[in-house]
Amino acid sequence: MRWKRWAQRLVAAAGACVAAALLLGVWALWIEPRSLVIREHTVPLDGLTEPVRVLLVGDLQPAGPHETPRRLARIMARLQATDPDLVVWVGDFVSERRLKTSFTRPEDTAAAIGTLQAPLGQLAVLGNHDWWFDGPAMERLLEAEGVRVLRDERVRLPGGLVVAGVEDPVTRRPNLARALRGVGPSEPVVLLSHTPDLFPDVPAHVDLTLAGHTHCGQVTIPGLGRPVVPSDHGERFAYGWHGRDGHAMLVTCGIGTAIVPVRLGNPPEAVVLSLVPADRPVATR
Protein backbone atom coordinates (compact mmCIF):
# COMPACT_ATOMS: atom_id res chain seq x y z
CA MET A 1 0.00 0.00 0.00
CA ARG A 2 1.14 3.49 -0.85
CA TRP A 3 0.60 4.94 2.63
CA LYS A 4 2.76 2.19 4.15
CA ARG A 5 5.60 3.02 1.76
CA TRP A 6 5.31 6.70 2.68
CA ALA A 7 5.31 5.82 6.38
CA GLN A 8 8.41 3.68 5.94
CA ARG A 9 10.17 6.49 4.10
CA LEU A 10 9.19 8.96 6.80
CA VAL A 11 10.52 6.67 9.54
CA ALA A 12 13.74 6.14 7.57
CA ALA A 13 14.17 9.89 7.06
CA ALA A 14 13.51 10.56 10.74
CA GLY A 15 16.03 7.88 11.67
CA ALA A 16 18.63 9.40 9.35
CA CYS A 17 18.06 12.85 10.87
CA VAL A 18 18.45 11.49 14.40
CA ALA A 19 21.63 9.62 13.42
CA ALA A 20 23.05 12.75 11.73
CA ALA A 21 22.23 14.85 14.80
CA LEU A 22 23.94 12.33 17.07
CA LEU A 23 27.02 12.22 14.86
CA LEU A 24 27.12 16.02 14.70
CA GLY A 25 26.83 16.19 18.48
CA VAL A 26 29.67 13.72 18.98
CA TRP A 27 31.82 15.69 16.55
CA ALA A 28 31.10 19.10 18.10
CA LEU A 29 31.17 18.00 21.74
CA TRP A 30 34.05 15.54 21.65
CA ILE A 31 36.07 15.15 18.44
CA GLU A 32 36.60 18.66 17.06
CA PRO A 33 37.44 20.33 20.42
CA ARG A 34 40.29 17.79 20.74
CA SER A 35 41.56 18.12 17.16
CA LEU A 36 44.39 20.61 17.57
CA VAL A 37 45.60 22.07 14.25
CA ILE A 38 49.00 23.70 13.77
CA ARG A 39 48.88 26.35 11.04
CA GLU A 40 51.95 28.01 9.50
CA HIS A 41 52.45 31.35 7.78
CA THR A 42 55.46 33.27 6.53
CA VAL A 43 55.40 37.02 7.18
CA PRO A 44 58.01 39.39 5.66
CA LEU A 45 58.82 42.37 7.90
CA ASP A 46 60.66 45.52 6.85
CA GLY A 47 63.59 46.25 9.12
CA LEU A 48 63.96 42.71 10.43
CA THR A 49 67.55 41.51 10.09
CA GLU A 50 67.20 37.87 11.16
CA PRO A 51 64.33 35.36 10.79
CA VAL A 52 62.31 34.58 13.91
CA ARG A 53 60.03 31.57 14.25
CA VAL A 54 57.13 32.64 16.49
CA LEU A 55 54.58 30.29 18.03
CA LEU A 56 51.27 32.07 18.66
CA VAL A 57 48.89 30.54 21.20
CA GLY A 58 45.61 32.00 22.40
CA ASP A 59 42.83 31.19 24.81
CA LEU A 60 44.25 28.04 26.34
CA GLN A 61 41.46 28.12 28.96
CA PRO A 62 42.07 24.57 30.17
CA ALA A 63 39.13 22.75 31.77
CA GLY A 64 37.39 19.39 31.52
CA PRO A 65 36.47 17.47 29.57
CA HIS A 66 38.89 18.51 26.80
CA GLU A 67 41.86 20.29 28.43
CA THR A 68 42.48 18.24 31.56
CA PRO A 69 45.97 18.35 33.13
CA ARG A 70 46.89 15.12 31.32
CA ARG A 71 45.81 16.45 27.93
CA LEU A 72 47.47 19.77 28.73
CA ALA A 73 50.80 17.94 28.88
CA ARG A 74 50.13 16.43 25.45
CA ILE A 75 49.19 19.84 24.05
CA MET A 76 52.48 21.30 25.33
CA ALA A 77 54.36 18.46 23.63
CA ARG A 78 52.62 19.32 20.32
CA LEU A 79 53.53 22.97 20.76
CA GLN A 80 57.15 22.20 21.62
CA ALA A 81 57.42 20.06 18.49
CA THR A 82 56.97 23.21 16.36
CA ASP A 83 60.50 24.22 17.46
CA PRO A 84 59.79 27.93 18.08
CA ASP A 85 62.36 30.67 18.63
CA LEU A 86 59.76 32.64 20.57
CA VAL A 87 56.40 31.76 22.13
CA VAL A 88 53.72 34.45 22.44
CA TRP A 89 50.43 34.07 24.30
CA VAL A 90 47.44 36.35 23.75
CA GLY A 91 45.67 35.71 27.04
CA ASP A 92 42.98 33.71 28.82
CA PHE A 93 44.93 31.10 30.77
CA VAL A 94 41.95 30.47 33.08
CA SER A 95 38.54 29.01 32.27
CA GLU A 96 35.41 29.56 34.31
CA ARG A 97 33.80 26.22 35.00
CA ARG A 98 30.17 26.95 34.11
CA LEU A 99 29.28 24.10 31.73
CA LYS A 100 32.76 22.55 31.92
CA THR A 101 33.19 19.28 33.80
CA SER A 102 36.26 20.28 35.82
CA PHE A 103 38.43 23.28 36.68
CA THR A 104 42.17 23.24 35.96
CA ARG A 105 44.15 25.08 38.60
CA PRO A 106 46.08 28.09 37.26
CA GLU A 107 49.14 26.76 39.09
CA ASP A 108 48.99 23.60 36.98
CA THR A 109 48.46 25.60 33.79
CA ALA A 110 51.46 27.84 34.48
CA ALA A 111 53.63 24.84 35.31
CA ALA A 112 52.68 23.16 32.01
CA ILE A 113 53.45 26.34 30.06
CA GLY A 114 56.78 26.58 31.84
CA THR A 115 57.89 23.31 30.24
CA LEU A 116 58.05 24.96 26.81
CA GLN A 117 61.54 25.86 25.66
CA ALA A 118 62.32 28.64 23.18
CA PRO A 119 65.64 30.48 22.72
CA LEU A 120 63.99 33.91 22.88
CA GLY A 121 61.66 32.93 25.71
CA GLN A 122 57.93 33.40 26.17
CA LEU A 123 55.89 36.62 26.16
CA ALA A 124 52.24 37.07 27.08
CA VAL A 125 49.35 39.42 27.68
CA LEU A 126 46.48 38.63 30.03
CA GLY A 127 42.86 38.18 28.95
CA ASN A 128 39.48 38.97 30.46
CA HIS A 129 39.13 35.54 32.08
CA ASP A 130 42.50 36.01 33.77
CA TRP A 131 41.38 39.32 35.24
CA TRP A 132 37.99 37.97 36.28
CA PHE A 133 39.86 35.25 38.14
CA ASP A 134 42.83 37.21 39.56
CA GLY A 135 45.04 39.07 37.10
CA PRO A 136 47.97 39.81 39.44
CA ALA A 137 48.01 36.19 40.66
CA MET A 138 48.04 34.86 37.08
CA GLU A 139 50.84 37.26 36.21
CA ARG A 140 52.93 36.06 39.16
CA LEU A 141 52.36 32.40 38.27
CA LEU A 142 53.40 32.93 34.65
CA GLU A 143 56.46 35.02 35.46
CA ALA A 144 57.56 32.42 38.02
CA GLU A 145 57.68 29.99 35.08
CA GLY A 146 59.73 32.35 32.93
CA VAL A 147 56.86 33.90 30.93
CA ARG A 148 57.12 37.68 30.77
CA VAL A 149 53.73 39.41 30.91
CA LEU A 150 53.56 42.65 28.93
CA ARG A 151 51.24 45.29 30.32
CA ASP A 152 51.37 48.32 28.04
CA GLU A 153 55.10 47.77 27.48
CA ARG A 154 57.51 46.40 24.90
CA VAL A 155 60.70 44.36 24.57
CA ARG A 156 63.40 44.38 21.91
CA LEU A 157 64.66 41.06 20.65
CA PRO A 158 67.58 39.97 18.45
CA GLY A 159 67.11 40.71 14.77
CA GLY A 160 65.65 44.12 15.59
CA LEU A 161 62.18 42.76 16.40
CA VAL A 162 60.06 44.73 18.86
CA VAL A 163 57.22 42.90 20.63
CA ALA A 164 54.72 45.09 22.48
CA GLY A 165 51.77 44.01 24.59
CA VAL A 166 48.71 45.89 25.79
CA GLU A 167 46.29 45.41 28.65
CA ASP A 168 43.06 43.51 28.01
CA PRO A 169 40.51 45.88 26.39
CA VAL A 170 37.56 44.06 28.00
CA THR A 171 38.53 44.51 31.65
CA ARG A 172 41.29 47.16 31.62
CA ARG A 173 42.20 50.38 29.84
CA PRO A 174 44.96 49.60 27.33
CA ASN A 175 47.41 52.38 26.57
CA LEU A 176 48.82 51.94 23.07
CA ALA A 177 50.99 55.04 23.33
CA ARG A 178 52.66 53.72 26.47
CA ALA A 179 53.12 50.25 24.98
CA LEU A 180 54.83 51.70 21.89
CA ARG A 181 56.80 54.46 23.64
CA GLY A 182 60.23 54.90 22.11
CA VAL A 183 59.55 52.60 19.15
CA GLY A 184 60.84 54.07 15.90
CA PRO A 185 58.68 54.14 12.74
CA SER A 186 61.14 51.91 10.87
CA GLU A 187 61.42 49.20 13.55
CA PRO A 188 59.61 45.90 12.90
CA VAL A 189 56.84 45.71 15.49
CA VAL A 190 54.52 42.91 16.58
CA LEU A 191 51.71 43.88 18.97
CA LEU A 192 49.99 41.41 21.30
CA SER A 193 46.36 42.20 22.18
CA HIS A 194 43.94 39.81 23.80
CA THR A 195 41.03 40.98 21.64
CA PRO A 196 40.97 42.16 18.00
CA ASP A 197 38.68 45.10 18.83
CA LEU A 198 41.71 47.33 19.40
CA PHE A 199 42.84 46.96 15.79
CA PRO A 200 41.18 50.11 14.34
CA ASP A 201 43.17 52.19 16.86
CA VAL A 202 46.56 50.57 16.25
CA PRO A 203 49.07 52.94 14.57
CA ALA A 204 49.98 52.11 11.00
CA HIS A 205 53.68 51.72 11.80
CA VAL A 206 52.86 48.56 13.80
CA ASP A 207 53.51 45.80 11.30
CA LEU A 208 51.50 42.98 12.82
CA THR A 209 48.88 42.67 15.55
CA LEU A 210 48.20 39.24 17.07
CA ALA A 211 44.92 38.61 18.89
CA GLY A 212 42.57 35.92 20.14
CA HIS A 213 39.50 36.08 22.42
CA THR A 214 36.87 35.28 19.78
CA HIS A 215 37.45 31.49 19.60
CA CYS A 216 36.24 32.11 15.99
CA GLY A 217 32.77 32.03 17.52
CA GLN A 218 33.38 28.33 18.38
CA VAL A 219 30.39 27.34 16.22
CA THR A 220 29.88 28.15 12.54
CA ILE A 221 26.56 27.19 10.94
CA PRO A 222 26.69 26.87 7.13
CA GLY A 223 24.65 29.64 5.57
CA LEU A 224 24.15 31.41 8.90
CA GLY A 225 27.71 32.13 9.97
CA ARG A 226 28.81 32.44 13.57
CA PRO A 227 25.84 33.07 15.88
CA VAL A 228 28.00 34.29 18.80
CA VAL A 229 31.25 36.26 18.47
CA PRO A 230 32.46 38.17 21.55
CA SER A 231 33.47 41.30 19.65
CA ASP A 232 32.07 44.80 19.20
CA HIS A 233 32.63 44.27 15.47
CA GLY A 234 30.54 41.12 15.19
CA GLU A 235 32.00 38.65 12.69
CA ARG A 236 34.28 41.22 11.06
CA PHE A 237 37.33 40.26 13.13
CA ALA A 238 36.19 36.78 14.18
CA TYR A 239 39.13 34.95 12.64
CA GLY A 240 42.10 35.06 10.33
CA TRP A 241 43.99 37.80 8.52
CA HIS A 242 42.88 41.42 8.32
CA GLY A 243 44.62 44.46 6.86
CA ARG A 244 44.46 48.22 7.21
CA ASP A 245 46.85 50.91 5.94
CA GLY A 246 49.64 48.40 5.34
CA HIS A 247 49.26 46.94 8.82
CA ALA A 248 48.08 43.35 9.30
CA MET A 249 46.28 41.51 12.09
CA LEU A 250 45.96 37.79 12.68
CA VAL A 251 43.17 36.51 14.95
CA THR A 252 43.62 32.95 16.16
CA CYS A 253 40.87 30.46 17.09
CA GLY A 254 42.83 29.56 20.20
CA ILE A 255 42.91 26.17 21.88
CA GLY A 256 40.28 26.09 24.62
CA THR A 257 36.58 26.86 24.73
CA ALA A 258 34.57 29.49 26.58
CA ILE A 259 31.56 28.57 28.72
CA VAL A 260 30.32 25.68 26.54
CA PRO A 261 32.91 22.98 25.67
CA VAL A 262 31.88 22.74 22.02
CA ARG A 263 33.45 23.55 18.65
CA LEU A 264 31.93 23.18 15.19
CA GLY A 265 33.74 24.34 12.07
CA ASN A 266 36.40 26.05 14.18
CA PRO A 267 38.95 23.52 15.42
CA PRO A 268 41.44 24.51 18.12
CA GLU A 269 44.68 25.84 16.70
CA ALA A 270 48.13 27.18 17.35
CA VAL A 271 49.95 29.22 14.72
CA VAL A 272 53.60 29.24 13.69
CA LEU A 273 54.67 32.53 12.13
CA SER A 274 57.97 32.57 10.29
CA LEU A 275 58.93 36.25 10.44
CA VAL A 276 61.52 36.93 7.75
CA PRO A 277 63.39 40.02 6.55
CA ALA A 278 61.43 41.62 3.74
CA ASP A 279 64.51 42.65 1.75
CA ARG A 280 65.92 39.16 1.11
CA PRO A 281 64.55 35.62 0.63
CA VAL A 282 64.98 33.39 3.66
CA ALA A 283 64.47 29.64 3.74
CA THR A 284 62.13 28.82 6.62
CA ARG A 285 62.11 25.56 8.52
- In tens digits, the chain (285 residues) has pLDDT values of 666 666 555 555 555 555 556 666 677 788 999 999 999 999 999 999 999 999 999 999 998 888 888 899 999 999 999 999 999 999 999 987 667 888 899 999 999 999 999 999 999 999 999 999 999 999 999 999 999 999 999 999 999 999 999 999 999 999 999 999 999 999 999 999 999 999 999 999 999 999 999 999 999 988 888 998 999 988 999 999 999 777 899 999 999 998 889 999 999 999 999 999 987 554 444
Domain that holds residue 271: 37-277
pLDDT of residue 163: 98
pLDDT of residue 125: 98
38/269 Cα distance (integer angstroms): 6
Pairing state between β 86-89 and 122-124: parallel
pLDDT of residue 103: 85
Query: pTM score, two decimals?
Result: 0.92
Q: 115: how many CB neighbours lie within 10 A of its CB?
A: 13
For residues 10 and 53, membership in a common domain is answered with no
Residue 284 lies in a domain: no
For residues 136 and 24, membership in a common domain is answered with no
For residues 28 and 142, membership in a common domain is answered with no
- Here the contacts of 133-140 (C-beta below 8 Å, separation 24 or greater) are 133/94, 133/96, 133/106, 135/171, 137/106, 138/93, 138/94, 138/106, 138/110
For residues 197 and 254, membership in a common domain is answered with yes
For residues 72 and 159, membership in a common domain is answered with yes
For residues 14 and 128, membership in a common domain is answered with no
For residues 224 and 105, membership in a common domain is answered with yes
Dihedral sign for Cα atoms in the order 109, 73, 97, 103: negative
For residues 121 and 154, membership in a common domain is answered with yes
Give yes or no for a contact between 261 and 65, defined as CB atoms under 8 angstroms apart. Answer: yes
Give the CA radius of gyration of the chain.
21
Residue 282 lies in a domain: no
